[in-house]
């Protein structure tokens, strides 16, 4: 196994450009949006665009397991209002279908928000029900829950919540998680020291299990542990520091999955990727 390291690259001009943009920064993995992330709907992917995406991925050396597409920002699978939630479920299904058409095997998403209309326990069940419906309608793509910083009414900020969601979906072979380092730190998982790093990941394995880890977002943080502020920073320039990422790169538990930068300065991505890759050897 090996480390697959990249960034969330632009798909402007067509999804087929994403693998080319990833190769240009020395990435061995990448993330992308499969449609405009700030709109509910978009034209279907053309057969030509799909064919070019697959061809470019093959030529650039990106297998499906090194690619972590992200759904759009408007989707809220935890929306308590059934009519409003229906729009989110349909949009989520559309994004899963786009991933399937592109030959991708997973899609990363934020679990959703209760909007202070229901309690967290009820919202976990709402989210799980929404995901289960979508997965039953679209085969072949794994739904990858991303942990959140716990801002506002956002769900999925604890390992316990993520574990409950996975269990309630009831389709263990079709779900996984993506851990964002900035979000985890902001949610209160302080893993800066070697001892706390080991403890946090032992807790993760006990509550969720590494078999469910389908990707990571590697981001330093602008704010402190437990701040609940989702503010990314370039690696080594925030409150996490380089040591966390060096330990991640040298730990075989994080092999074989896409490790994706969403740091704030894309001009630094080639440098950040090269540094991470030097530790992974």
- Catalytic annotation, residues: 38, 70, 73, 110, 146, 180, 183, 217, 230, 232, 262
Strand 258-261 and strand 213-218: the pairing is parallel
Token pair belonging to 77: 């699978």
Question: At 269, which helix (H) or strand (E)?
Answer: helix 269-280
Give SS3 for 238: coil
Q: Do 3 and 252 meet the contact criterion of CB atoms below 8 Å apart?
A: no
Token pair belonging to 199: 């403890």
CA distances 95 to 137, 242, 274, Å, are: 12, 34, 31
Q: Do 225 and 182 meet the contact criterion of CB atoms below 8 Å apart?
A: no
Go through 57-81 and write b for each residue having 16 or more CB atoms within 10 A of its CB, e for each that does not.
beebebeebbbbbbbbeebbbbbbe
Please tell me the total number of residues recorded for the chain in this structure.
281
Q: Do 40 and 19 meet the contact criterion of CB atoms below 8 Å apart?
A: no
* Farthest-apart Cα atoms in the chain, separation: 51
């Amino acid at each position: 196994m090996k480390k697959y390291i990249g960034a969330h690259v632009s798909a402007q001009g067509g999804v087929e450009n994403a693998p080319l943009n990833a190769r240009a920064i020395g990435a061995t993995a990448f993330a992308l949006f499969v449609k405009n992330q700030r709109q509910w709907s978009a034209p279907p992917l053309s057969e030509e665009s799909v064919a070019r995406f697959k061809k470019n991925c093959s030529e650039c050396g990106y297998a499906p397991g090194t690619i972590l597409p992200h759904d759009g920002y408007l989707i809220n699978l935890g929306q308590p209002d059934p009519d409003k939630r229906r729009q989110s479920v349909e949009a989520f299904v559309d994004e899963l279908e786009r991933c399937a058409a592109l030959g991708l095997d997973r899609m990363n998403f934020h679990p959703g928000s209760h909007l202070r209309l229901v309690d967290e326990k009820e919202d976990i069940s709402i989210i799980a029900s929404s995901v289960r419906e979508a997965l039953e309608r679209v085969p072949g793509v794994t739904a990858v829950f991303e942990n959140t910083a716990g801002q506002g009414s956002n769900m999925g900020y604890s390992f316990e919540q993520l574990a409950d969601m996975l269990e309630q979906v009831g389709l263990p072979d079709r779900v996984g998680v993506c851990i964002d380092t900035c979000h985890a730190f902001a949610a209160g998982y302080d893993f800066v020291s070697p001892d706390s790093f080991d403890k946090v990941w032992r807790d993760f394995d006990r509550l969720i299990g590494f078999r469910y880890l389908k990707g990571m977002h590697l981001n330093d943080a602008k704010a402190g542990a437990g701040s609940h502020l989702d503010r990314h920073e370039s690696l080594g320039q925030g409150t996490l520091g380089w040591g966390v990422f060096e330990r991640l790169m040298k730990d075989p538990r994080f092999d074989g999955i896409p490790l994706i930068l969403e740091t704030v300065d894309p001009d630094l991505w080639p440098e950040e990727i090269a540094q991470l890759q030097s530790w992974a050897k």
